[in-house]
Copies of this chain bind each other. A is one copy, B any other.
Amino acid sequence: MNISFILGLLAGFGLVIFGIISSSSSLSQVTQSFVDFPSMYITFGGAIAATVMSVPVKYLKDVPQNMKVLMKREKIDLNLYIDTIEELAKEARLKGLLVLEEKVNSMDLQDEFLKYCVMLIVDAIEPTKVRAQIENEIDCIEARHASAWKVFDTLAAFGPAFGMLGTLIGLINMLANMDTSQGADALGKGMSTALVTTFYGSMLANMVCAPISNRLKAKHDEEMIAKEMIMEGVLSIQSGENPKYIREKLNSYITYKERGSEAAEADGEKSKKSAKRGKKKSEANA
């Protein structure tokens, strides 16, 4: 569960509703002013209609799937991937590349992309081709992911536009029918109704669509970093590099702090003077 997203959503709506209630005279007035179905049809309906016109049907079909991804997927633990790749590298050194297929299927970490990459090197394809193919795979994944947030970006752009359209419609009608004999009170009510669509459009964009789009992009970025790291790791395994050196290389993808603790955990006695680490490795590599 993506708790921070849900908490933010609840808090945001709670605060806006609290703000609405605290600045209005009575609850019945709130529902009267802020719940207006024709305004909803124009704003939400119009924005959704324009979005349906804008994006291929396929993108819309993927929305439920993407929402599930947004809600469920846990944080990616890069350290776990580094451990796994180091383990695979050790295995490959001892028993050759062919054994990796079995190994990767029996591991705790069940990652489709890692398996895909490992299969490529098991298939004994030459390194430059493997890199090209994995990079192409990543590009294609990127293109597919982009369709997820394009829907919400489009909706976030049309929301305020149709909100303003609704307000214009309300204003035009109100001004055309203006009857000063009814007093300014009626005028105020008309304006109030006209402005509700702008409120709806702004809420749709800022409270729902923009945060979803932002979070999907952030999740995508995290995932891309992991995928890039896996690619580098697997290519290093293929070229037969030292498992320790591969870990060192992949450490670039995590912060200094995470590296330190990780290294300490992994090779206890070295943790005192990290400078020594480099030298020993150099001997191993030479």
Binding site for B on A (CB under 8 A): 4-5, 7-9, 11-12, 15-16, 18-20, 22-25, 29-30, 32-34, 38-39, 41-42, 45-46, 49-60, 75, 98, 101, 105, 112, 115, 119-120, 122-125, 133, 136-137, 140, 143-144, 150, 154, 157-158, 161-162, 164-166, 168-180, 183-185, 187-189, 191-193, 195-196, 198-199, 202-203, 205-207, 210-212, 214-215, 218-219, 221-222, 225, 232, 249, 252-253, 255-256, 275, 278-279, 281-282, 285-286
27 A-B residue pairs with CB within 8 Å: A4-B52, A4-B53, A8-B49, A8-B54, A11-B49, A12-B53, A16-B42, A18-B41, A19-B42, A23-B38, A23-B193, A25-B173, A32-B176, A50-B206, A50-B211, A53-B215, A56-B75, A58-B75, A101-B278, A115-B275, A119-B278, A124-B282, A125-B285, A144-B255, A150-B218, A154-B214, A168-B195
CB <8 Å contact, A123 and B282: yes
A211 contact from B42, B53, B140, Cβ within 8 A:
B53
**Is A133 touching B173 in the complex (CB atoms < 8 A)?**
no
Alpha-carbon separation in the docked complex, A154 to B8 (Å): 14
Q: Please tell me if the beta carbons of A214 and B55 are within 8 angstroms of each other in the complex.
A: yes
Q: B140, A12: Cβ atoms under 8 Å?
A: no
Complex contacts, A184 vs chain B, CB 8 Å: 178, 180
Residues of B within 8 A of A180 (CB): 183-185
- Once A184-B180, A192-B176 are accepted as A-B contacts, the answer to whether A281 and B198 lie under 8 Å apart by CB is no
Chain B residue contacts of A29, Cβ below 8 A: 173, 176-177
Whether B11 lies near A45 (C-beta < 8 A) is yes
Max chain B C-beta neighbours (<10 A), residue from A56, A154, A279: A56
Cβ 8 A contact of A168, one of B188, B202, B279? B202
Contact B11 A165 (CB under 8 A): no
Taking the nearest CB of chain B, how far is it from the CB of A66, in angstroms? 13
Contact A177 B252 (CB under 8 A): no
Contact partner of A9 (CB less than 8 A), chosen from B53, B188, B210, is B53
Closest-CB distance, A227 to chain B (whole angstroms)? 13
**CA A219 – CA B57 in complex, angstroms?**
11
Rank and list the top 4 A-B pairs by shortest CB-CB distance, nearest first. Answer: A178-B188, A12-B49, A53-B211, A54-B214
State the CA gap A162–B45 with chains docked (Å). Answer: 23
- CB of B8 within 8 A of CB of A53, answer yes
| Given A12-B50, A185-B178, A286 contacting B198 (CB threshold 8 A) | no
| Distance of A218 from chain B, by nearest CB (Å) | 5
5 A-B pairs besides A20-B173, A178-B185 with CB distance below 8 A are A4-B60, A12-B49, A24-B173, A50-B207, A136-B249
- The complex places the Cα of A112 from the Cα of B255 at a distance, in Å, of 12
